[in-house]
Amino acid sequence: MPVDIVVGGQAGDEGKGKITAYLAAKNGYDYSIRVGGPNAGHTIFYKDRIYTLKTMPGGFVSRRTKLVLGAGTYIITGWLEKEIALTGAGDRLIIDPHAVIIEPRHTAAERGDARMMGKIGSVGTGLGAAVRDRVDRKKLRFAKDEPRLKKYVKDVPELLNKALAKGSRMLLEGTQGMKLSNLHGEYPYVTSRDTTASTFMGEAGLGPKYAGEVYAVFKPYVTRVGPGFVAREMTDRNKLDRYHTAGREVGSVSGRLRRVGEFELDVALRTVRINSVTRLAITHMDMLDGADFGRGVRSFTGEAKRFMGTLARICAVYPYPKVSLISYGPGLEEVLELA
């Protein structure tokens, strides 16, 4: 089926941006689609540059790929314009008329809400406030109402479905992860939207029949920038330092140091079921002791071997995903392809 989907299996920041860019560079999809808000920063190391994208789809690295923002996208216009300049991909960008503009009043409302910023640990972009206005059917600005975005606006569901009829292939990049889903996550320590594959399809204007491979992205450990549950949270300063430096575990939008905990098998199994995951993509494998990727040779001993055993348990759960990609560094070439 023509639409591959990338979802997060933990608390966001699993490396969806990198996996999306890797798949786009490899498969050269016709369309790379993103939904969700700018609270999600997807970081891509590409050709000696670091791209922290809050809105532009990670598939920009494939020059033949058109970039699409669906109706379930929430846009801070100035931020998007900066990313258009950074990626130089404005001529390939298409925005759904019903993507919502996050206005300064939304951002101010969220940042001024002590409960949202404190108890929930919101990133403070205003996404939640804009979602609330949409649910309340209040007056909102959509992409179609924004003169600066007008040239990108097209009927996305019509365009994508016509393209599907002609055999186009698409990559759909979601945001956040299982633990942060407003529907299936650890409420109230969640974001303002659902973060699972079927919702991403709906937010793009795609029906369920076209879902292809569903990639769930995991790290061998869990990080969380906000409050909420983290299994066996790491408290050792020296160990944490290594994650924050070598592992780059610092919030890409929030700048906060990420909390670190152990891999949560129960969450991973839920991710597989709820998203009908067919492929596992593991990032940050180089943070484990015993993972050796030197000169094309790979060997897993100690911690890394134990983690591969954990992955085998995930693969035993319906619909029996395969371990597909293992990333061991930030660069797009630092990926081991297994299936």
Binding site for ligand IMP (CB under 6 A): 11-13, 39-40, 120-123, 125, 127-128, 175-176, 180, 189, 191-192, 225-226
Cβ closest to Mg ion, residue 39 vs residue 87: 39
Nearer to ligand IMP, 42 or 92 (CB): 42
Question: Which of residues 19 and 160 has its CB atom nearest to ligand IMP in the complex?
Answer: 19
Q: Are 12 and 180 in contact (CB under 8 A)?
A: yes
Give the shortest CB-209-to-Mg ion separation in angstroms. Answer: 30
Token pair for residue 33?
A: 């689609």
Specify the residue, 27 or 182, whose C-beta has the smaller distance to ligand IMP.
182
Q: What number of residues does the chain have?
A: 339
Partner in contact with 38, chosen from Mg ion, ligand IMP, none, beta carbon below 5 to 8 Å by kind: none
Exactly one of 4, 13, 203, 249 binds Mg ion (CB under 5 A); that residue is 13
d(CA 306, CA 225): 26
Q: What is the DSSP letter of 252?
A: T
> Could you give the CA distance from residue 20 to residue 109 in angstroms, rounded to a whole number?
32
Distance of CA 152 to the CA centre of its chain: 23
**Interaction partner, residue 220 (ligand IMP, Mg ion, none; CB < 5-8 Å by kind):** none
Q: Which residue has the tokens 């033949």?
A: 64
**Amino acid (1-letter code) at residue 155:** D
What, of ligand IMP, Mg ion, none, does residue 89 touch, CB below 5 to 8 Å by kind? none
CB of 206 to ligand IMP, least distance (A): 22
Give me the active site residues, please: 13, 42
List Cα–Cα distances, 37 to 78, 87, 128, 235, 264, in angstroms: 14, 18, 9, 31, 26
Cβ at position 124, least distance to ligand IMP in Å: 7
What are the backbone angles phi and psi of residue 221, rounded to the nearest 5°?
-145, 175
Out of 2, 9, 38, 41, the residue judged to bind Mg ion by CB under 5 A = 41
Q: Which two tokens stand for residue 228?
A: 């909420």
- Minimum Å gap between C-beta 70 and ligand IMP is 17
Provide the binding-site residues for Mg ion, judged by CB under 5 A: 13, 41, 252
